[in-house]
Amino acid sequence: MATITTTYSSLPEVNVEKGAPALRLLDAPHDRWHRIRHLNGPKEECQRLLDLGLTPGEEIAVVQSVPLGDPMIVLVRGTRLALRRREAAWIWVQ
Amino acid sequence: MGTVKSPALEPENRAEELTVCLVGMPNAGKTTLMNALTGGSFHTANYPGATATILRGKSKPEFGPTITLVDLPGVHSPVAPSPEEELSCRVLEGRHPRVQPDVLLLVVDATQLERHLKFAGYAARQGKPMVVALTMTDLLARTHQSVNDAKLSAALGVPVVPVDPRTGKDVERLIAALRQVASQPNQNNALAQLPDEPVAAYNEVRKLLTGSGALAQTVKGARATDLLTARIDRLVLHRYLGFPIFFIILAGLFAAIFWAAQPFMDGVEGAFAMAGKLAMSVLPEGVAARFIGEGIIQGVGAVAVFFPQIVILFFLMTLLEDSGYLARGAALVDRPLSFLGLHGRSFVPMLSGFACAIPAIFAARTIPARRERMLTIWILPLMSCSARLPVYALLLAALLPDAPWKAGLSLAGIYITSLLAGSLVAGLISRIAFRKRRSLSILAMELPVYRTPQLKPILRMTWKRASAYLKRAGVPIVVISSVLWLLSNFGLGARQPASPDGAARPIIAQSDLEHSFAAQLGQAMEPMLRPMGVDWRVGVGLISAFAAREVFVSSMAIVFHVADSEETQQAGLLEQMRAAKFADSSQRIFTPATILGLIAFFFFSLQCLSTVSVIRSETNSWRMAGLQLLFYTGLGYLVSVTLVQGLRLMGVE
């Protein structure tokens, strides 16, 4: 095992440039913080995600994928969540 | 458990006694706190019709007047709830007929204040007095945070008591706070003012936390995350190492279930055999004594043999759950399982299904979406449960008499095939039957922080789960084995051999197995059994196997007249089976083709009425249970007949 050099509390900060293009969390680069812009997906599922704390304006980072690539592990509001790629595709970030 | 008066049926509201419900998100430490408050003397209360487990108990005597404590299942979100979550929501919203709390005890993880307080808002809106218990405060250092409980309490308008449920520290303060709010409800509960809409609610929570100075970061710019957990996840969810680790853990689990349980199973078997004989020698000789000794005691014993395996399974599952690994396992296999229309969390029930389908069906309660839960329950009977093991052992020994290693290998093959068959059935059903309707399916699963599991609470929880299993499955097992005993020990009087003194024969009389109702059923079924290549005697074995599959072995010994001596029984049975011929021809019954046919039958058919009864009560649907019984037993029959006839066509007898 290679030693772990990055710690999540020192992930690169959110890019706050105005007018930065939105992209899906699914396609967003790993190991950096992104800001959630909006959710766009099936209503009930998105409501549950919102309720779990994935709200617009909140910071989120993808820190790991599991061996099969799905789900991915995200960090949001101090919690590690396993999100399916399908769910990550509903989350638009900057 | 003997001292507890039927908890499920007692009315909740006894005037003086305070009832407190523990509520919170999963992994907040509710059950550990429950342990600390009650001193471990709580029990699972399965309310009729409820598909979730509620824990009930009384506060420890040293805490003063008794408080009734009810631990509700953890809720991630009241949006699109699982059955467990739905139950807690019903209690919180005052819609539960039996559980009506006077005070809510909100268990809040100090390292995840925002999410937990957002949930607390939902609970507070229901208008009950409440107290917040702050847990996991020892982890705050790991996440570079500090929480000031006095400021938090002032900001929320609700008493906040930091507790360490693992050591029981400050639990008395918590009790005092509970009594106080019971007499003087919270004046300005800020949590109750939180909006329902999540974005606004989260903003409000953050304002409350930072505005009051209740939450501070000890390292500037740091974000709350636990590095230890991150490191362990890097390893156990590693691209190449993740699955090997997963399989090693599973292999350990199986080894424990099958090897470590063996001596205990032998003990249970011996104890029931002895108890049965004892009962028969003590009671006055006669049908009643045999009914109690053979029918009830040994009948229950046939199922109770698996209890040690179930206890070990519960213990290891609780251990994995407590350490935090179980959620990782579910994340690892979510992709293949969701492809089949199942859910990552389906893996726990599927795994349990290899020990016994009944605890597996209970374990399906944590799957949020109804369709995925039903589909999981649907395929559980296919998992090769350990009641099939003695049957396969007998049949494989008959099929491959000279090569035990081939039999062992075939057994491993059967286990893997059962997993594949379950996957195939799930995949086909989700593709065909559920093709049109879109349904909710969401993972978004919290991966809890890793913590060192603590033995005592785990042992306690194991015992609670095991005794809940006994309570739930015990009654159907007693009833079914009694009925089957009666069927195989009584028959129509007219079919019995005439008594020497020529007395008139009663309509229904005691009978040996060959002239019993069971034999009559077997003979009536003979036209259906012939395509499987077997005669009515095997049919009797198949019917008796509905009590529990492994009863097949002992009924075969009875119908093929094997002398009852413990050591030689299997060898004697094998010899008898090899020699057995059809009554009307010299054709042998047990040929390779028919043995394979029987294995196929046991592989598919749902020959366990206890499972059927538990499916009924868990899904609240006779239709589901009946459909499953017909589907799998029909499938087993069809596959068996096709296999036997196909092999015969190919010249294999």
Among chain B residues, the shortest Cα distance to A42 is held by B440
Pairwise CB contact (< 8 Å): A67 & B237: yes
Among the partner residues A59, A67, A81, nearest to B444 by beta-carbon distance:
A81
Q: How confident is the model at residue B354 (pLDDT cuts 50, 70, 90)?
A: confident
- Per cent of chain B over pLDDT 90 is 31
Query: pLDDT at position B310, please?
Result: 83
On the question of pLDDT at B76 being above 90, the answer is no
Query: pLDDT at position B4, please?
Result: 41
On the question of pLDDT at B177 being above 90, the answer is yes
CB contact, 8 Å: B327 with chain A? yes
Pairwise CB contact (< 8 Å): A67 & B440: no
CB contact, 8 Å: A37 with chain B? no
- Chain B nearest CA to A56, separation (Å): 7
B139: three-class secondary structure by DSSP: helix
On the question of pLDDT at A6 being above 50, the answer is no
Lowest mean pLDDT among B264-273, B342-351, B508-517: B508-517
On the question of pLDDT at B77 being above 70, the answer is yes
Lowest mean pLDDT among A28-37, B39-48, B144-153, B322-331: B39-48
What count of CB pairs under 8 Å joins A to B? 142
Provide the token pair at A42.
Answer: 């099936």
Judge if the upstream peptide bond of residue A42 is cis by omega within 30 degrees of 0: no
CB contact, 8 Å: B114 with chain A? yes
Pairwise CB contact (< 8 Å): B335 & A42: no
pTM, two decimals, is 0.83
Mean pLDDT of A44-71: 90
- Chain A nearest CA to B563, separation (Å): 56
* Domain ranges (residues) in chain B: 7-222, 480-492+510-649
Whether ipTM tops 0.95, in short, is no
Best probe of the B interface among A43, A48, A59, A63, by most B CBs < 10 A, is A48
B22: three-class secondary structure by DSSP: strand
On the question of pLDDT at B512 being above 80, the answer is no
On the question of pLDDT at B566 being above 60, the answer is no
Best probe of the A interface among B225, B228, B239, B334, by most A CBs < 10 A, is B225
Instruction: Return d(Cα B459, Cα B450) in angstroms, integer.
Output: 19
CB contact, 8 Å: A6 with chain B? no
Query: What does DSSP assign to residue B440?
Result: -
Among chain A residues, the shortest Cα distance to B220 is held by A9
- Please give the mean pLDDT across all residues of chain B: 84
Query: pLDDT at position B83, please?
Result: 78
A90 CA to centre of own chain: 11
Provide the token pair at A68.
Answer: 């099969």
Q: How confident is the model at residue B591 (pLDDT cuts 50, 70, 90)?
A: very high
B239: three-class secondary structure by DSSP: coil
Among chain B residues, the shortest Cα distance to A45 is held by B442
Among the partner residues B112, B202, B444, nearest to A55 by beta-carbon distance:
B202
Among the partner residues A51, A59, A67, nearest to B198 by beta-carbon distance:
A51
The torsion angles phi and psi of A79, rounded to 5 degrees, stand at -115, 145
Instruction: Return d(Cα B500, Cα B598) in angstroms, integer.
Output: 40
Provide the token pair at B370.
Answer: 């109804």
Check residues B438 and B364 and name the one with the higher pLDDT: B364
Residue for token digits 């609610």? B201
Residues of chain A positioned with their CB less than 8 A from the CB of B202: 53, 55, 58
Burial of A17 (0-12, 13-18, 19+ CB in 10 A): exposed
On the question of pLDDT at B579 being above 90, the answer is no
Query: pLDDT at position B8, please?
Result: 44
CB contact, 8 Å: B329 with chain A? no
Best probe of the A interface among B335, B340, B372, B451, by most A CBs < 10 A, is B335
Mean pLDDT of B576-597: 88
Instruction: Return d(Cα B228, Cα B450) in angstroms, integer.
Output: 8
Among the partner residues A59, A78, A87, nearest to B112 by beta-carbon distance:
A78
Q: Which of B276-285, B522-531, B573-582 has the highest mean pLDDT?
A: B522-531
Tens digits of residue pLDDT in B190-202: 899 899 899 999 9
Instruction: Return d(Cα A58, Cα A38) in angstroms, integer.
Output: 10
CB contact, 8 Å: A19 with chain B? no
Pairwise CB contact (< 8 Å): B443 & A67: no
Query: pLDDT at position B46, please?
Result: 54
**Considering only residues 65 to 84 of chain B, which have any Cβ-Cβ distance to chain A shorter than 8 Å?**
76-80
- Cβ atoms of B350 and B440 within 8 Å: the answer is no
Pairwise CB contact (< 8 Å): B238 & A67: yes
Pairwise CB contact (< 8 Å): A53 & B202: yes
Instruction: Return d(Cα B645, Cα B103) in angstroms, integer.
Output: 67
Lowest mean pLDDT among B163-167, B347-351, B387-391, B604-608: B163-167
Give just the sign of the alpha carbon dihedral B113, B114, B115, B120.
positive
CB contact, 8 Å: A46 with chain B? no
Check residues B152 and B99 and name the one with the higher pLDDT: B152
- Beta carbons within 8 Å of B580's beta carbon, 6+ residues apart: B537, B560, B588, B589, B590
Provide the token pair at A7.
Answer: 């710690």
Sheet hosting strand B18-24, strand order edge to edge: B42-45, B54-58, B67-71, B18-24, B103-109, B130-135, B160-162
- Per cent of chain B over pLDDT 70 is 91
Q: How confident is the model at residue B221 (pLDDT cuts 50, 70, 90)?
A: low
Find residue B147's DSSP bridge partners.
B215
Pairwise CB contact (< 8 Å): B336 & A68: yes
Lowest mean pLDDT among B251-260, B276-285, B297-306, B319-328: B297-306
Q: Which helix (H) or strand (E) holds B42?
A: strand B42-45
CB contact, 8 Å: B199 with chain A? yes
Query: What does DSSP assign to residue A29?
Result: P
In sequence order, which ranges of B144-285 are alpha helices (DSSP H)?
Answer: 149-156, 171-183, 198-211, 227-236, 242-255, 262-282
CATH superfamily of B7-222: P-loop containing nucleotide triphosphate hydrolases (3.40.50.300)
3-class DSSP string for B467-496: HHHHHHHHHHHHHHHHHHHHHHHEEEHHHC
Q: How confident is the model at residue B6 (pLDDT cuts 50, 70, 90)?
A: very low
Provide the token pair at B315.
Answer: 């213990």
Q: How confident is the model at residue B568 (pLDDT cuts 50, 70, 90)?
A: low
Query: pLDDT at position B379, please?
Result: 95
Find residue B134's DSSP bridge partners.
B108, B162
Pairwise CB contact (< 8 Å): B334 & A57: no
On the question of pLDDT at B175 being above 90, the answer is yes
Pairwise CB contact (< 8 Å): B115 & A45: no
Find residue B109's DSSP bridge partners.
B135
- Chain B nearest CA to A65, separation (Å): 8
Pairwise CB contact (< 8 Å): A48 & B79: yes
Query: pLDDT at position A1, please?
Result: 34
Q: How confident is the model at residue B582 (pLDDT cuts 50, 70, 90)?
A: confident
Which CATH number describes the domain made up of A20-93? 2.30.30.90
Pairwise CB contact (< 8 Å): B240 & A71: no
On the question of pLDDT at B12 being above 60, the answer is no
In sequence order, which ranges of chain A are alpha helices (DSSP H)?
Answer: 43-51, 85-88
On the question of pLDDT at A77 being above 50, the answer is yes
Pairwise CB contact (< 8 Å): A48 & B230: no
Query: pLDDT at position B277, please?
Result: 85
Query: pLDDT at position B3, please?
Result: 42
Check residues B178 and B293 and name the one with the higher pLDDT: B178
Query: pLDDT at position B452, please?
Result: 85
Query: pLDDT at position B9, please?
Result: 42
Instruction: Return d(Cα B334, Cα B329) in angstroms, integer.
Output: 9
CB contact, 8 Å: B442 with chain A? yes
Q: How confident is the model at residue B340 (pLDDT cuts 50, 70, 90)?
A: very high
- Chain A nearest CA to B335, separation (Å): 6
Dihedral of the alpha carbons of B522, B527, B531, B535, in degrees to the nearest 10: 40
On the question of pLDDT at B653 being above 80, the answer is no
On the question of pLDDT at A54 being above 90, the answer is yes
Pairwise CB contact (< 8 Å): B331 & A1: no
Query: pLDDT at position B284, please?
Result: 85
Write the DSSP assignment of B534-571 as a string of letters: --HHHHHHHHHTTT-TTHHHHHHHHHTT----TTTHHH
Query: pLDDT at position B639, please?
Result: 96
Tens digits of residue pLDDT in B444-488: 888 988 988 888 888 888 887 788 777 766 776 777 778 878 887
Lowest mean pLDDT among B45-59, B308-322, B421-435, B515-529: B45-59
CB contact, 8 Å: A56 with chain B? yes
- Beta carbons within 8 Å of B442's beta carbon, 6+ residues apart: A45, A48, A49, A84, A87, B80, B368, B369
Residues of chain B positioned with their CB less than 8 A from the CB of A44: 79-80, 440
3-class DSSP string for B198-221: HHHHHHHHHHHHHHCCCEEECCCC
Tens digits of residue pLDDT in B430-455: 888 776 666 667 888 889 889 888 88
Mean pLDDT of B526-533: 91
Mean pLDDT of A55-67: 90
Q: How confident is the model at residue B13 (pLDDT cuts 50, 70, 90)?
A: very low
B425-464 burial code (b ≥16 CB/10 A, e <16) = bbbebbeeeeeeeeeebbbbbbbbbbbeeeeebbebbbbb
Query: pLDDT at position A12, please?
Result: 66
B329-340 burial code (b ≥16 CB/10 A, e <16) = bbbbbbbebbeb
